[in-house]
Amino acid sequence: MNHSDIRTRYAPSPTGYLHVGGLRTALYNYLFARHHSGKLILRVEDTDRTRLVEGAVENFIDVFHWLGIEFDESPKIGGPYGPYVQSERLDLYSVKIRELAASGFAYPCFCSSETLDKMRADQEALKRPPMYDKRCRKLSKSEADEKIASGSPHVWRMKVPDHETIHIHDLIRGDVQFESHTIDDQVLLKSDGYPTYHLANVVDDHEMRISHVIRGEEWLPSTPKHVLLYRFFGWAPPQFAHLPLLLNPDRSKMSKLSGDVAVEAYREKGILPETLLNFVALLGWHPQDEREFFTLEELVKEFSLERVNKAGAVFDMQKLRWMNGEYIAKKSSDDIWESVCALLPEELESVATERVRFAVESLRAGAETCADIRDKVGEAYSAQGDIPEFSEQQFAFLNSTLEGFAHIETPLWNRFEEIGAKFKEIANASGKANALQGKQLWMTLRLALTGREHGPELAKLVAMWGREETMNRLSAALSARTASERAS
């Protein structure tokens, strides 16, 4: 096969958000296709009409664009093998079911849901795996045709051959085999005319010339059904590669019930797109050396299915945060501002942009996520806490500080060194005038301005606020003392 013939696909169901497991599947398909100069296709598998979520497809596309993963063919872009939404391909599946029925590889099933429920309960009571008992398979063609003609509701099932071993070569797991008596006569076309996943994905993968099916391990048990369908149609199957499970730190499966598993959640936490791609790429794949940091272009160059593990990969949130902190530390001021800006609360809209930007740059040190920076900025602009009772010496110092700041020109946001020098000048003068010294002076000023004992460097805080806000806070602290004296 020529590299240009390699075609992979990511085929999500629009039933909600993009799971990190889905992201890894899409990423590995992308890396494999790009490594071999092939193409990546986005196909929407929306045949389960009961679970559709409005806007899910648009969300997928937006998230992939944010991550920098672009498709060659998709519902939005189009392409030579469209449409790329399964609900728009129903006529094709009907044609293919008729072909299977005509060649004896599919049959109609007229069993009601009540019959199937009882069948399943009886099998479970006998501790047998629940499977269709093939009763409608025994109907003659004339009996089945008569029922169809009379309008009896029915589905179409595949006719799994008896007493056969089905061999599959998986590019990650090697040779795998299944016995046909363990494979259910799967429903292929539902009574509403919509195909199940098994029929639609096989037909579409063939029609869209997919060369490699790279998907999660949970689909491995379904693969013999798919291999049989390829044989029934007389088609050559694609090559299969089933990826290892994603695990929680306790080694349990990372499912949709495991907490934050949506890519959107990590975006909202302030994880950078390049961090997330780098981290997810290493969940089950290992490079040739001990490197941990890769650009997307470097991942494309290095990636191979031969280096994908069989064992499950643990999703370590602490490592993701650490890796993101390393990326943040290397980011330019412009890039960090762009990443944090979208996360900032509406309350900061009234603050001059240059001041907020200065705050972001001043408070980014040591942050592991952009949300950490956002929270620090929000705290810096939060209202004063409770003002403590100040002594005479403290009151005098605060008065001197207020008077000193009246002579500083605005803006202050880019002059924090001058502010620091002014603080020291006032502190030195106050230290000579009363018993307050060193840390006592700085703590007094911090408590007056913020109501808290700890926080960012005071000079930078004042630079973030500007003269007017700083003087308002000092005046409020002094007013609180005056009001307290009047009350007493």
The rounded distance, in Å, linking the Cα atoms of 400 and 417 is: 19
Burial class (CB in 10 A: 0-12, 13-18, 19+), 210: buried
Extract the tokens encoding 210. Answer: 């997919």
283 lies in a domain?
yes
A 10 A CB-CB count for 483 gives: 10
Q: What is the CATH number of the domain that holds 261?
A: 3.40.50.620
Q: What is the CATH number of the domain that holds 397?
A: 1.10.10.350
269 lies in a domain?
yes
Distance of CA 43 to the CA centre of its chain: 18
Say whether both 288 and 343 belong to one domain.
no
Domain interval for residue 43: 1-79+244-330
Give residue for tokens 């099998």. Answer: 123
Strands (E), 46-117: 106-109
Say whether both 405 and 366 belong to one domain.
no
User: DSSP labels for 376-415?
Assistant: HHHHHTSPP-PPPPPPHHHHHHHHHHHHHHTTSPSP-TT-
Say what the pLDDT of residue 54 is. Answer: 86
442 lies in a domain?
yes
Say whether both 348 and 429 belong to one domain.
no
The rounded distance, in Å, linking the Cα atoms of 25 and 40 is: 12
Q: Which residues of the chain have pLDDT under 50?
A: 257, 486
Say whether both 281 and 304 belong to one domain.
yes
Say whether both 370 and 396 belong to one domain.
no
140 lies in a domain?
no
Say whether both 326 and 337 belong to one domain.
no
For 369, half-sphere exposure in the C-beta direction (CA atoms, 13 angstrom radius) is: 18
171 lies in a domain?
no
Say whether both 354 and 400 belong to one domain.
no
Instruction: Tell me if 120 sits within 8 A of 113, measured CB to CB.
Output: no
Say whether both 406 and 420 belong to one domain.
yes
113 lies in a domain?
no
In this prediction the pTM is 0.90
Over residues 431-478, the pLDDT tens digits come to 665 656 677 888 888 999 998 888 888 888 888 888 888 889 999 988
Instruction: Give the containing element (helix H, strand E) for 313.
Output: strand 313-314
Say whether both 420 and 450 belong to one domain.
yes
The rounded distance, in Å, linking the Cα atoms of 78 and 80 is: 7
125 lies in a domain?
no
147 among known catalytic residues: no
Residue 357 CB contacts under 8 Å (≥ 6 apart), including other chains: 337
Helix and strand element counts for the chain (H, E): 19, 11
Say whether both 311 and 343 belong to one domain.
no
Choosing from 339, 357, 380, the residue where a domain stops is 380
Say whether both 355 and 402 belong to one domain.
no
* Overall number of domains in the chain: 3
405 lies in a domain?
yes
Say what the pLDDT of residue 259 is. Answer: 54
From 76, 118, 256, 301, the catalytic residue: 256
Say whether both 342 and 396 belong to one domain.
no
